[in-house]
């Protein structure tokens, strides 16, 4: 069995960014991956602006001002945000509002709380301000011609706002990764169907479909495939035609009814199988041959990637997050695909470690430590709802209460 780090390294080394890009409206680009750098055509802000409601003045005009000898200046103009400013005449003040353009000639802003307006419309200042106070300099956020979002960036809401702040109405993004998914198991039923003895509802279809949607994939759901090798091979051939990745769930173990692995070997190849992790050991990686016509039509390689996930619901959930997610992000052209890992205190003890790398469902308690879900079985899907993330526990390692462990939040594994 491969160690988890080695398995992930092999997957990412094999991943090649899909060909093709498209231009989409910035408003519609969330979760897409940039195909080209976004360079700012302007400074942000594009002019000096006031960061306070107050008065724009020349600091020299208020030299010597004090509470005992305030300096009063006439107000020569009023500048709301979005309006042009006239040059400031010496010996005058401009009424200015937050975000408004600082008038040429002014070198500081005095907040309105530090000024006193008299009955004759003049404004008095009881102290001498320093030059530059409460002024946001032109280009303080972004300089013209700088790269603000490099190619490979996955576009978050804040990234979309940043692109919009420099006037980008459209963005060049990598086309969506096309994923075909199917599920094997004669015992599987869909919610709403009667549940005969020995049958179970197909929870994995809902979990995995939602995870793929969250990653912005173009998904073809081929449904539940009968536990027959010929049916599995036919579905693999169909899935390979127009998809970058074929994702299956179930049928990759070593039982007599596990037909996915031999079917893939007949239609392509398996280059990796079985990972030293718990839950999720029977994970397979390889490729399925495309038909010649489809390969030429797509202008891409002759193989579709294949990843086979285990059928147990927690196993499929964890292996998707730890392996399929970064693989898909790499196919989409993403740069940094690794989740952030946090060092946190274990508020429990686990007397015996497993020979495999364990991923334990845990949640953060009110004191900032981690509690462990009592049943770590790969069939207990409630642990994934109860928990906040996974403890990455090394092989053969018992956890002592108070020990610092590696914790990967689900929020990191789903971003």
How confident is the model over 327-347, as pLDDT tens digits?
Answer: 999 999 988 899 999 999 999
What local confidence, expressed as pLDDT, does residue 297 receive? 42
DSSP per-residue string spanning 318-346: HHIIIIIHHHHHHHTT-S--PPP-EEEEB
Q: What is the pTM of this model?
A: 0.86
Domain stops at, among 331, 363, 384 = 331
Who's near 87: CB < 8 A, 6+ residues apart?
103, 104, 105
Q: Mean pLDDT of all residues in the chain?
A: 94
Are the beta carbons of 148 and 37 closer than 8 angstroms? no
Domains identified in the chain, total number: 4
What local confidence, expressed as pLDDT, does residue 335 receive? 82
Average pLDDT value for residue range 137-147 = 97
How confident is the model over 258-271, as pLDDT tens digits?
Answer: 789 999 999 999 99
Q: How many CB atoms lie within 10 A of CB 5?
A: 9
Are the beta carbons of 225 and 182 closer than 8 angstroms? yes
Give the span between the Cα atoms of 213 and 228, in whole angstroms.
Answer: 29
Domain stops at, among 331, 353, 388 = 331
Shared domain for 35 and 92, answered yes or no, is no
Are the beta carbons of 176 and 217 closer than 8 angstroms? yes
Task: Name the nearest CA neighbour of 279 among 377, 384, 399, 163.
Answer: 377
Paired tokens of 244 = 């970058």
Q: Is 228 exposed, middle or buried (0-12, 13-18, 19+ CB in 10 A)?
A: middle
Shared domain for 187 and 293, answered yes or no, is yes
* Model confidence band, residue 252 (pLDDT cutoffs 50, 70, 90): confident
Give the span between the Cα atoms of 228 and 169, in whole angstroms.
Answer: 50
Provide the residue range defining the domain that includes 365. Answer: 342-413
What is the percentage of the chain residues whose pLDDT exceeds 70?
A: 96
Q: How many CB atoms lie within 10 A of CB 151?
A: 16
Least confident piece of the model among 61-65, 287-291, 321-325: 287-291
In a domain, 208, yes or no: yes
Shared domain for 169 and 189, answered yes or no, is no
How confident is the model over 303-312, as pLDDT tens digits?
Answer: 999 999 999 9
How confident is the model over 165-208, as pLDDT tens digits?
Answer: 999 999 999 999 999 999 998 899 999 999 999 999 999 999 99
């Amino acid at each position: 069995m491969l160690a988890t780090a080695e398995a992930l390294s092999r997957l990412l080394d094999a991943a090649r960014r899909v060909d093709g890009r498209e231009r989409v409206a910035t408003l519609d680009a969330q979760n897409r991956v940039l195909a080209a750098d976004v360079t700012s055509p302007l400074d942000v802000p594009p002019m000096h602006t006031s960061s306070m409601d107050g008065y724009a003045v020349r600091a020299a005009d208020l030299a010597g001002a004090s509470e005992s000898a305030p300096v009063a200046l006439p107000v020569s103009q009023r500048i709301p945000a979005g309006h042009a400013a006239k040059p400031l005449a010496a010996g005058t003040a401009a009424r200015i509002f937050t975000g408004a353009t600082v008038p040429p000639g002014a070198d500081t802003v005095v907040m309105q709380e530090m000024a006193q307006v008299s009955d004759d419309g003049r404004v008095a200042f009881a102290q001498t301000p320093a030059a530059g106070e409460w002024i946001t300099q032109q280009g303080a956020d972004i300089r013209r011609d700088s790269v603000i979002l490099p190619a490979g960036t996955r576009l978050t809401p804040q990234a979309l706002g940043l692109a919009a702040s420099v006037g980008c109405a459209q963005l060049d993004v990598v086309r969506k990764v096309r994923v075909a998914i199917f599920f094997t198991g004669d015992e599987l039923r869909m919610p709403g169907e009667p549940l005969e003895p020995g049958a179970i509802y197909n929870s994995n279809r809902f979990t995995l479909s939602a995870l793929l949607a969250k990653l912005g994939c173009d998904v073809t759901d081929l449904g539940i495939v009968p536990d027959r090798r010929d049916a599995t091979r036919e579905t693999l051939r169909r899935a390979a035609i127009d998809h970058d990745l074929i994702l299956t769930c179930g049928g990759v173990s070593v039982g007599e009814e596990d037909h996915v692995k031999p079917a893939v070997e007949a239609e392509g190849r398996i280059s990796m199988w079985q990972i030293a992790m718990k839950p999720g050991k029977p994970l397979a990686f390889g490729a399925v041959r495309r038909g010649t016509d489809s390969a030429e039509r797509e202008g891409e390689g002759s193989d579709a990637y294949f990843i086979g996930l285990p059928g147990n619901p927690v196993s499929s959930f964890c292996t998707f997050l730890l392996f399929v997610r970064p693989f898909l992000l790499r196919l989409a052209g993403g740069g940094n695909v690794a989740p952030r890992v946090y060092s946190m205190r274990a508020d429990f003890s686990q007397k015996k470690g497993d020979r495999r790398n364990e991923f334990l469902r845990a949640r953060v308690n009110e004191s900032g430590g981690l509690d462990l879900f009592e049943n770590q079985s790969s069939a207990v899907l409630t642990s994934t709802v109860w928990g906040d993330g996974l403890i990455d526990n090394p092989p053969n390692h018992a956890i002592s209460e108070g020990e610092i462990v590696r914790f990967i939040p689900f929020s990191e594994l789903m971003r």
